[in-house]
Structure 1
Amino acid sequence: MTRLAAGITLIALCVLAFLVYSNQGLRQERETLRSDNKRLAGQIEWQNKMQIAVASIEENRSRELTNAKNKTDDLQRDVDDGRRRLRLHASCSSAGPSGMADAAAARLTDAAQRDYFTLRTRIETANIQIAGLQDYIRDICLAQP
């Protein structure tokens, strides 16, 4: 019977050693998973902050773009209605004597006036887009995770 007890004890010790060894592996695996989970949670938090920053940049620049377009549209309406005039630096050469009393003031042609407003809108759009890209590079691309 003592041989049987010794055998059972030996088997129990082997099972216990196996359980301790496998338990140690599970602990290491658990610590690895916790570390990975913490790292991934940090990345998700960083990505969420970056999405909020991108949305903020887009909102601000879209508002600026809308305001610039409205300002140009208002100016064009005022010019069309005669409340404002476009100033230009021009010199008129006339075949007649200088200082004619009935000479008309220099003005842009209708096509040139339309082109002026188109160019003004495009320049404002380009400036705002460039500023938005600069914000994106500075606040998003160069931000450290």
Structure 2
Amino acid sequence: MQLDGFLLVVLGLVAWVYIHFLEEQRDTARSERDSAYSEVVDLREAARISGEMLADRDENDRTRTKALNHALSEINDLRRAVDGGGKRLLVKATCSTPKPDQTGSGSVVDAGPAELAADARSDYFTLRNQLALSHEMILGLQDHVRRICLR
């Protein structure tokens, strides 16, 4: 009989250890599940933010590209008008007054407004294109910093 009682105690002890082991495994699995769920939530939030940042970047790029194309189109329209003779590129300039001892036709008073020479026109339009490009690049970078980097 004592052996039956001892065997019963040993079996109870083994069952208690096994149940305790299963509870520890259950708690570990719950902890790992909660950690994985938290990581999934964080990854989804990171993906959402990245998506918004990419959308902002693309919108900024579209806006600046549209503005640049518009500016370049206006410059090309001006170039065609100047080349066709419909417009002139005038230079803001002042001319000195004629000296009293100068006489004859073609004095400074009779001269028309100062205009760019024909060979300088292409340089003028190149500079305008570069200025428009630089302007839009600077605005685009400023928007990028405000909308994406400082987020």
TM bucket (normalised to shorter chain) is 0.7 to 0.9
Q: Is the 8 A contact 1:54 1:140 kept in 2?
A: yes
| Distance in 1 separating the partners of 2:51 and 2:41 | 15
Task: Specify which of 102, 120, 128 is matched with residue 128 of structure 2.
Answer: 120
Q: Which one of the candidate residues 70, 79, 86 is aligned to 2:89?
A: 86
Alignment partner, residue 45 of structure 2: 42
> How much has 1:123 moved relative to structure 2?
0.5
- The separation in 2 between residues aligned to 1:18 and 1:29, in whole angstroms, is 17
1:63 is aligned to 66
**Which runs of 5 or more residues in structure 2 are unaligned?**
none
Q: How many residues align?
A: 142
| 1:10-25 matches, cutoff 5 A | 10-25=13-28
Asked whether the 8 Å contact 1:92–1:106 carries over to 2, the reply is no
- State the TM-score, normalizing by the size of structure 1: 0.87
Contact 1:54-1:136 within 8 A present in 2 as well: yes
Structure 1 residue runs of 5 or longer lacking an equivalent are none
Shift of 1:38: 1.2
- Report the equivalent of 1:110: 118
User: Deviation of residue 25 (structure 1)?
Assistant: 1.5
Q: CA distance change for structure 1 residues 117 and 47 in 2, over 3 Å: closer, same or farther?
A: same
The share of aligned pairs that are identical, in percent, is: 32
Q: Which runs of 4+ in 1 moved over 3 A?
A: 90-96, 103-106
Provide the residue aligned with 2:148 in structure 1: 140
Using the size of structure 2 for normalisation, the TM-score is 0.83
Please say which structure displays the higher CA radius of gyration: 2
Partner letter of residue 24 of structure 1? Answer: D
